[in-house]
Structure 1
């Protein structure tokens, strides 16, 4: 089977962007931690201080280094303050991670079958896809660790004769990863460097490894923000950073550590869906063969996997995205294992997997038609439905082509996310921020107004993006709201807090109403019964605009 024919890494990257993009570039889903970075980026636009991150409450936040904030800020500066702008560079980082995996596997194996399969596995990895749809540090950490992976692979391949480009890739990748998330990058990078220096199969001399231009550049990049924060704020900022990196994230209970370790070990296998299924046959014997064939590379992968499992086990709350930094390196090893296990010849199993994902796509396709048939939709959504249907037809046709089965499986996973956004369009969009944006424009709310906000902070983050830098919105909490709200020109308040407003002194108008995803069942039934607006009004999320009389 000539699966290496007609494969283009650039088309694979483009497919990732186009199919994940609709789900990523509007708030179909809004991950809680995104508010820290988008809120801070809006504040940076307003106050001109691009070094110091601020929360929506105007408190400083030093828990993460600066680079993630700058990625959001760059999107806002180039494209304006929109959901699209907050996430575009994270989507591109996820897409380019696929390119680094392809590059690294080509460097080490010089086998197009392995590199092509590695790229397809990486492109369809659920953790990469989900992380690419969020403006949080994890996809950037994975991206820069993938960049350093190419550097590590270069040393594992060429030893002490490694070209200088691998020094730059290794050290710059680690430095940028450190400026994204701090200690996880330092821990994995330090272990990787020690492995290069000490492993008995491909030991690198320290004089060959330490290339002063790349090392010094990396040190400057990695230390920049920390030096800047010490210069501006003194040593107190370190307390918040260390607490987040070590204190509050490290679990002390053995039962919790054991549970996290078990979950992490299971997920690092299962999340290679469906590819891990193809490696079950003769896994033990194939792994031994791979170790004897390339002991230095296999040992490196094992070291990093064990390290990330232990780090994930030690946190107080485990998330699957914590595994992302080692997934690029692991993906290359998995692709190698599957090629050695003759995955390309296991036609029936490949076709069964493709048919399974086609079935899921059909279910999602029908759900999308259902929601958009009963609710007001747009030409662009129906065009997306038509493209989605065409993609399913294409996959059915390619299921008969044995040479394209691995490509089709990866595409079927990506197509699922493309299709899900058709239904979430009706549930989530326009988000509350866009409703408030429209309200402020229609009511000619003066730019520069000071606005108090009381409600769910995640929705508040969407509203801050909707209003943009022309309005100064501050998050208040239930404890300080009564004392402070009168200091502001306007108030935006969630319905459950509305009783705290003295109605005789204020004019109150509904400014945003969205479906609540918790009531998706009621939403579907209401469409059949023809009373969706009534049910939406009863169960939806409401935010009110309040102004003094």
Structure 2
């Protein structure tokens, strides 16, 4: 009819080609700043362990500044080391690439978990566009996304374990997950045990199968512990591991209550924007209809039990919940509305709000000299506004919204961080050039945290030699880098470094200890 407005729908094709294009798109953007951006938070610690393995030529005992590191098993460090072996040195790119590959690999295998490929597409995109996976950790040199991937792959082959070989592969992945963070059984066995208990069909057989799976998964972790005991103090390792776990389980009454209140919010933000869908479309009736579906029920129970465990333990953080993300995606793929149209008011508010952020931040980066990146942000903001002309199904809109949020993060906030984070590569080089005798060993003050590890890592990269912590000082003639203005009488101050506006003043001493 004349004058009637044509409705233009936006709908993603649920097929492997679309998923593959999305994975390639994500990979290209995730890798843009991986080498340029300085390592921060815990990233230098994960990297220096691999770097010292490369320097020592010994790979069993993790060390940080030659001091044995007990808090994490070394699988992530081994992978970083393997990548560094190719080029002969460990770069930021090497340190972050395992997380990018793990993230994309999980999305890839989620697609093939389902016989219904359209549903597999939905599950994969939910995982690939969740905040905690895509934006927070997809390209960080931290073990969480690798840990998540290994637990999911263990589950994937468990579901496919019609043959003994797949069952063994599943247990191997579980063992590798233990070699990454150690607590992987929390995200796997409780939910499966509950499912087989509720099902009441061959519970004893399935329970014994799980026990056998767990025993097999211990082979590689026990082998590493055996080799570790040959070279270092195993009791200290086990004590630190147990203290790390127990510290997550205790806290003051007020802290426990606060955690019980705040952790659900953290989990909600971690799984944003899909947590919104889960809350508003969760249907008990539909869940009852799906209770005989093993894929749905095992994933749902793994997700719920993980959530409850992390909520009860006061030391649980939002990122600790990440291994539950693939199971959340599987669960939601059964519940996600297939044909619900998004309300125009939500579409307008969300797109206009995100576009405003694009335009405001673009002027900020242009003002600071990043003209090209600012223009890119403006173009993306205009492109986002063009998407207002479409009507959306809920699922398609959340994917589009997540992609533009991701692009803003990569080409806006990530660019900003790349140019404002403390650049210890430059600081380390400046200090190294001021050493009178570059042959002397270097010690970095342990209390200089988190600067301690970042500075030490970059000095090791420059010198190709170990930097020591104060706990393992062996040489009698060395340089000490600290933030203290006064140290022992055996150390003479040779210079101070006001290296950067966002880094504390660093004092460099020449120390000669008496025999």
1:82 aligns with 91
Partners of 1:11 and 1:202 in 2: how far apart? 42
Matched, 1:498 2:485: yes
User: Please, which of 64, 70, 88 is the counterpart of residue 72 of structure 2?
Assistant: 64
1:510 aligns with 497
1:19 aligns with 29
Q: Against the structure 1 CA distance between its residues 397 and 118, is the aligned structure 2 distance closer, same or farther, given a 3 Å change threshold? A: farther
Matched, 1:293 2:290: yes
Q: Report 1:120-519 matches (<5 A).
A: 120-128=125-133, 129-154=135-160, 162=162, 166-168=166-168, 170-182=170-182, 184-195=183-194, 197-200=196-199, 206=205, 218-233=217-232, 235-251=234-250, 253-281=252-280, 283-284=281-282, 286-295=283-292, 296-340=294-338, 342-343=339-340, 346=343, 349-350=346-347, 352-370=349-367, 372-373=368-369, 382-402=371-391, 405-418=397-410, 419-428=412-421, 431-437=423-429, 440=432, 442=433, 449-454=440-445, 456-468=448-460, 470-476=464-470, 487-494=476-483, 497-500=484-487, 505-510=492-497, 512-513=499-500, 515-516=501-502
Partners of 2:82 and 2:20 in 1: how far apart? 24
Q: Is the 8 A contact 1:25 1:133 kept in 2?
A: no
1:42 Cα deviation after fit: 2.5
Q: Is the 8 A contact 2:70 2:241 kept in 1?
A: no
1:40 aligns with 49
Q: TM-score with structure 1 length normalisation?
A: 0.77
Q: Is the 8 A contact 1:101 1:119 kept in 2?
A: yes
1:63 Cα deviation after fit: 2.5
Partners of 1:138 and 1:439 in 2: how far apart? 33
Partners of 2:252 and 2:391 in 1: how far apart? 50
Q: Is the 8 A contact 2:167 2:213 kept in 1?
A: yes
CA deviations over 1:216-271 (Å, ceiling 9, x no partner): 86443233212222343364144334433433332154543343233233332343
1:530 aligns with none
Partners of 1:420 and 1:472 in 2: how far apart? 34
Matched, 1:116 2:121: yes
SS in 2 for 1:467: helix
Partners of 2:148 and 2:79 in 1: how far apart? 14
Q: Is the 8 A contact 1:120 1:406 kept in 2?
A: no
Q: Is the 8 A contact 1:40 1:55 kept in 2?
A: yes
Q: Is the 8 A contact 2:497 2:507 kept in 1?
A: yes
Where do 5+ consecutive residues of structure 2 fail to align? Answer: 1-8
1:329 Cα deviation after fit: 0.8
Matched, 1:95 2:104: yes
Q: Is the 8 A contact 1:149 1:329 kept in 2?
A: no
Partners of 1:188 and 1:395 in 2: how far apart? 38
Q: Against the structure 1 CA distance between its residues 48 and 257, is the aligned structure 2 distance closer, same or farther, given a 3 Å change threshold? A: same
Q: Against the structure 1 CA distance between its residues 116 and 402, is the aligned structure 2 distance closer, same or farther, given a 3 Å change threshold? A: farther
SS in 1 for 2:480: strand
CA deviations over 1:93-115 (Å, ceiling 9, x no partner): 223232233333x34xx141x33
Number of residues of Structure 1 aligned to a counterpart in Structure 2: 492
Q: TM-score with structure 2 length normalisation?
A: 0.82
2:3 aligns with none
Q: Is the 8 A contact 1:81 1:465 kept in 2?
A: no
CA deviations over 1:439-490 (Å, ceiling 9, x no partner): 53x558766540121352322222223223513212337xx9xxx6993432
RMSD of aligned C-alpha atoms? 3.7
Q: Is the 8 A contact 1:152 1:166 kept in 2?
A: yes
Q: Against the structure 1 CA distance between its residues 345 and 303, is the aligned structure 2 distance closer, same or farther, given a 3 Å change threshold? A: same
Q: Is the 8 A contact 1:485 1:491 kept in 2?
A: no
Partners of 1:201 and 1:225 in 2: how far apart? 38
Q: Is the 8 A contact 2:494 2:510 kept in 1?
A: yes
SS in 2 for 1:143: helix
Q: Is the 8 A contact 1:150 1:166 kept in 2?
A: no
Partners of 1:509 and 1:187 in 2: how far apart? 49
Q: Against the structure 1 CA distance between its residues 266 and 428, is the aligned structure 2 distance closer, same or farther, given a 3 Å change threshold? A: closer
CA deviations over 1:115-137 (Å, ceiling 9, x no partner): 33333322222211322343222
Matched, 1:53 2:62: yes
CA deviations over 1:54-78 (Å, ceiling 9, x no partner): 232x332222222122133234333
Where do 5+ consecutive residues of structure 1 fail to align? Answer: 156-161, 374-380, 517-539
Q: Is the 8 A contact 2:303 2:327 kept in 1?
A: no
Richer in helix (by share): 1
SS in 2 for 1:181: coil
1:533 aligns with none
1:51 Cα deviation after fit: 0.3
1:211 Cα deviation after fit: 11
1:180 Cα deviation after fit: 0.8
